[in-house]
Structure 1
Amino acid sequence: MNFDEILCLIGGFGKFQKTLYIWICLPQIFLAFHMLVSVFTGAVPPHLCHSSVGPQAFLNFTFSSPSSLYGQSELSCTVPLNLSGDAGLGDGHPSEKCQGGWDYSTETFQSTIVTEWDLVCEDASLNNIGSSVYMFGLLVGAVVFGSLADKYGRRIVILFNLAIQAVFGVGAAFAPNFYVYIALRFMVGTSISGVIMNAFVLGTEWTGSKQRMLAGIITDYFFGVGYILLAGLAYLIRDWRKLQLAISAPGFLFIFYIWVLPKSARWLMANDRKEEAWELIRKAAQINGKPLTKDLEMCQVYRVEKKNEVKKKHSFIDLVRTPKMRKHSLIVFYLWFANVLVYYGLSLNISDFGMNIYLTQLIFGLVEMPARTITLFTLNRSRKFSQLAFLAVGGTACLLTIFVPSDLSIIKTVLAMIGKFGITASLSIIYVYSAEVFPTVIRQNGIGIGSMCARTGGVLAPMMYLLRRLNPHAPMVLCGLCPLLGSALTLLLPETANKPLPDTIEDVEGSPLSEEHGGVSESSPGRTDDVGSSRTD
């Protein structure tokens, strides 16, 4: 009897698991806050160069409009040498670089990090770099806290990262300069990965195989709730420091997780801590109203030695050693990268669509709900064509935005919303699809590297908007072409819906493989009927 069979006896998604998912889902709201708050704290309000001649000198000029060049026009960074007339810079009049600082419009924001530290003109790229540093923190956190969780357990890593998130998040609200601010945000980013990954794994390891897909989607819904709530919170709090404090300080309330968050019994068993595991299993069974029998408690329930033996014979090199496995792996890694690149490329730059930033944030948050819901109905029919179709929808909609004039902001926002819908649905699917493409013996290696590719996309997402200097439409062209390429590549992947999971590389290749070609000659552990049911960590 393995752990999944025990879950069937004590209840795969009873009261114990439902309570656990409440504790897992609550932090997701705050994770969304931290992931997307830079939309508001790093916003670039309309601004005008403050002439050293005096404020009266530039009264004849107007603030630059965000729709002119995403918040920055020539007038924002220079001042005309001849200020006596009404002629503007566009008439060929000589000008010089702004020396006296900038005046910012306070119509939408009281303050942002841009207005406080003048991250415009020559220093405008620092704002994008700051967002990329935060995303790099996610990558570092995924690597560091993933391995630490395998060594020390999920619960302790989740608690530690919730503490980091609260302390450094509050610290960022009091940052004395931009460089301290991005360093503190980097630490928050590492903690986000630590919580997201291990909370998902903790929930998965306690949930029966039949309910795992639904349970995973539930956590995504709470991220969407945070997405929507952030729009209202930012609308009420227009000062960036107060907003940063408002999303971070409540994190200290999670201290009560010390007493309510359980350990993973599956992880405890895999690490030969069976007495602790059985104590938790008895507790879960009691809460679910299915107490264990004495006969069951006397069973040897976990075949750790056999599974560990299989793990030692395979590494990440096996992902690219053989032809079909190499093709599948590279395509899946690209899909992870493209999905996250476009998802955050759209989410972090909503001011570019010309509509009210708070309304656009709300709309983009609301789109998350149907996008994640629809995957529940399409996934069981076809993983392959669900992935292909949603990528095609997202990419096509993003490409169409470049043909919409800037004054038709509503149409542009609707197309961006459709693009966000497609990418959000596609991102939900890739979690399930990739876990089914990789065989059991290297599944965790595949998921781990896929996650790293996703974080790389997150790092590059803020940076791709520096391409606006080459062409204002370049970022949206990239947001369109990357998913379309992914859609085409998905045609080369196998269909995995309602099919047994591959256990060995031999299953993927479809023919016997010799050891020298990276294959295995012996059978691997029994097949499973659901993603992750063979996890031992």
Structure 2
Amino acid sequence: MSSVYLQERMNFDDILCLIGGFGKFQKTLFVWICLPQIFLAFHMLVSVFTGAVPPHLCRSSWPSAGAPASSNFNFSHLADPDGRPELSCTAPLNHSSAGDGSPTGNCQRGWEYSTETFQSTTVTEWNLVCDSASLNNMASSIYMFGLLVGAVVFGSLADKYGRRNIILVNLASQAVFGVGSAFAPNFYVYIALRFVVGTSISGVIMNAFVLGTEWTGSKERMLAGIITDYFFGFGYILLAGVAYLIRDWRKLQLAISAPGFLFVFYIWLLPKSARWLMANDRKEEAWELIRKAAQMNGRPLSKDLQMRKVEEKTEVKKKHSVIDLVRTPKMRKQSLIVFYLWFANVFVYYGLSLNISDFGMNIYLTQMIFGLVEMPARTITLFTLNRSRKFSQLAFLAVGGTACLLTIFIPSELSVVKTVLAMIGKFGITASLSIIYVYSAEVFPTVIRQNGIGMSSMCARTGGVLAPMMYLLKGISPQVPMVLCGLCPLLGSALTLLLPETANKPLPDTIEDVEGSNISEEGDGCL
């Protein structure tokens, strides 16, 4: 690259071309980014086990006080044809309360729970069954609301204080409050602690992804999303084994949280985003990091080149906010479409997961299988993303939506066919969800990228909160949930046509880059 070209044009993608877009520095960075993803998956999915509802029976419904202990009592007759322990709530019960601040069922002599699968769960400890079962659902909703709050708060704070600082704060918060929830004295303290854990998970997921994206060259940028997804999927699978070995909910919560304190070493290991520093007019700090990255990649920059680039003219620094996402026409159109895509992907992803998980199989085996199914979905995006972000997003949304819609035409007796179609739908949505991480980071310019990702994540978490409620619509028609799971992705597929192609293009740094169509007109930044 000639010095004339360098003087005429400067952006961070040019710098990455000079120092290496995916050298030793970036590969080391991805190791630090990916390791927490395993534990993030643990926290996201652990409630499947810690909040499980074993078969149960009120002792007051037994014929005599000398009824057999739960270890000898046959709980199998309590399950309905779908395997849910509903019949336990139909026995005549006596009303009382414990008076210790913990929710209890309306059962004077207490509940007896099967210990065949779990030694203890939050449900068995605080009797979150029958009349109190809604409290168990409330715990999940509050946790999801924590994810939403974290997406809004830490998206904005990261644009102001930097990606690295917010990651470090949230890793510490996740460890402290995660361990704290393992020692919660009552249910209400537990859900409050889980709420804070939820906010911290959003802060880590978003900012780790953006930090990796901003240090990666345009041709390898998709790895920022796909590689981290793999580690999240690995955590998804690994949790099944950890939960199988640890059947007590407090010990399980402690086991997935305590290792988080090891991430204190990230204070010395995790770099800042030089792209963010450049955009915030902190060029000296940025160039110190760039020199270090260039040295690690074996492509050091000359002093003359560094001085010429540092002396480039700079724009007047502007303060940006969430309003800038919708202030200008093209940015507004792209932002609203991306927000909907996040909502639709997560809404359908969790909607399908809740639906197809009711196989009546061993819960640990089911968890592992669902984790394994997601791996090929993420793998296939590696072969499509570099060709086209837009077509990949559009195609997988169409596959997922079409497969879900087809299930409503399959007779109920052909359950295997319906299940296969549902799994195809989940395959498409999982692939689409992996793509939207990469795609949205490339649509939003650097100055408001974290605001954009934060608002997108908020929309995604809204979809996650609404997904369980979707199945309340079965009272209207059994087909309604799958109709929604089909139509939402298909609408998203159509809207994707209005987004720009970003494959192998420089990241936009300013809103003017977006409004001027630079993102679609520039080359890949390496000449």
The alignment status of 1:364 with 2:373, answered yes or no, reads: no
Q: 2:344 aligns with which of 308, 321, 338?
A: 338
Deviation at 1:372, TM superposition (A): 1.1
Deviation at 1:34, TM superposition (A): 0.5
Q: How does 1:76-115 map to 2 (within 5 A)?
A: 76-79=88-91, 100-115=109-124
What residue number does 1:280 align with? 289
What residue number does 1:86 align with? none
Unaligned runs of 5+ in 1: 82-96, 509-519
Q: Deviations over 1:215-271 (max 9, x none)?
A: 321111111111111111111111111111111011111111122112222223333
The alignment status of 1:261 with 2:275, answered yes or no, reads: no
Q: Deviations over 1:38-68 (max 9, x none)?
A: 1111112222333354367897985432653
Deviation at 1:479, TM superposition (A): 3.5
Deviation at 1:121, TM superposition (A): 1.8
Q: 1:150 to 1:79 in 2, by over 3 A?
A: same
What residue number does 1:94 align with? none
Q: 1:118 aligns with which of 127, 131, 134?
A: 127
What residue number does 2:97 align with? none
- 1:166 and 1:248 in contact (8 A); partners too: yes
What residue number does 1:64 align with? 78
What residue number does 2:394 align with? 388
What residue number does 1:131 align with? 140
The answer to which of 41-50 and 134-143 deviates more is 41-50
What residue number does 2:6 align with? none
What residue number does 2:231 align with? 222
Find the aligned partners of 1:48 and 1:478 in 2 and give their Cα distance.
36
Q: 1:176 aligns with which of 173, 185, 188?
A: 185
- 1:78 and 1:98 in contact (8 A); partners too: no
Find the aligned partners of 1:275 and 1:383 in 2 and give their Cα distance.
34
Q: 1:161 to 1:256 in 2, by over 3 A?
A: same
The alignment status of 1:458 with 2:464, answered yes or no, reads: yes
Q: Deviations over 1:58-112 (max 9, x none)?
A: 97985432653x6242x2212159xxxxxxxxxxxxxxx8654432222222221
Q: 1:159 to 1:495 in 2, by over 3 A?
A: closer
Structure 1 SS opposite 2:116: coil
Find the aligned partners of 1:181 and 1:136 in 2 and give their Cα distance.
15
Deviation at 1:526, TM superposition (A): 10
What residue number does 2:25 align with? 16
Amino acid at match of 1:239: D
Q: Deviations over 1:388-439 (max 9, x none)?
A: 3322333444456678899988766544433321111011222344456668
Structure 2 SS opposite 1:426: helix
Structure 2 SS opposite 1:208: coil
Q: 2:198 aligns with which of 189, 205, 208?
A: 189
Q: How does 1:212-251 map to 2 (within 5 A)?
A: 212-251=221-260
Q: 1:28 aligns with which of 34, 37, 48?
A: 37
Amino acid at match of 1:71: R
- 2:386 and 2:504 in contact (8 A); partners too: no
Find the aligned partners of 1:284 and 1:135 in 2 and give their Cα distance.
37
Find the aligned partners of 1:452 and 1:146 in 2 and give their Cα distance.
9
Aligned length: 499
Q: 1:192 to 1:108 in 2, by over 3 A?
A: same
- Using structure 2 for the length normalisation, give the TM-score: 0.82
The answer to which of 172-181 and 22-31 deviates more is 172-181
Q: 1:304 to 1:416 in 2, by over 3 A?
A: farther
Say what the alpha-carbon RMSD is for the aligned residues.
3.8
Find the aligned partners of 2:107 and 2:176 in 1 and give their Cα distance.
38
- 1:104 and 1:115 in contact (8 A); partners too: yes
Q: 1:427 aligns with which of 414, 424, 433?
A: 433
- 1:441 and 1:524 in contact (8 A); partners too: no
- Using structure 1 for the length normalisation, give the TM-score: 0.80
- 1:39 and 1:348 in contact (8 A); partners too: no
Q: 1:288 to 1:66 in 2, by over 3 A?
A: farther
Q: 1:272 to 1:243 in 2, by over 3 A?
A: same
Find the aligned partners of 1:474 and 1:49 in 2 and give their Cα distance.
35
Q: 2:423 aligns with which of 403, 417, 433?
A: 417
Q: Report % sequence identity.
A: 79
The alignment status of 1:374 with 2:369, answered yes or no, reads: no
Deviation at 1:126, TM superposition (A): 1.8
Unaligned runs of 5+ in 2: 1-9, 94-105
Q: 1:345 to 1:12 in 2, by over 3 A?
A: same
Find the aligned partners of 1:389 and 1:291 in 2 and give their Cα distance.
41
- 1:163 and 1:252 in contact (8 A); partners too: yes
Q: Deviations over 1:457-479 (max 9, x none)?
A: 12323444555677777655544
The answer to which of 351-360 and 54-63 deviates more is 54-63
- 2:210 and 2:450 in contact (8 A); partners too: no
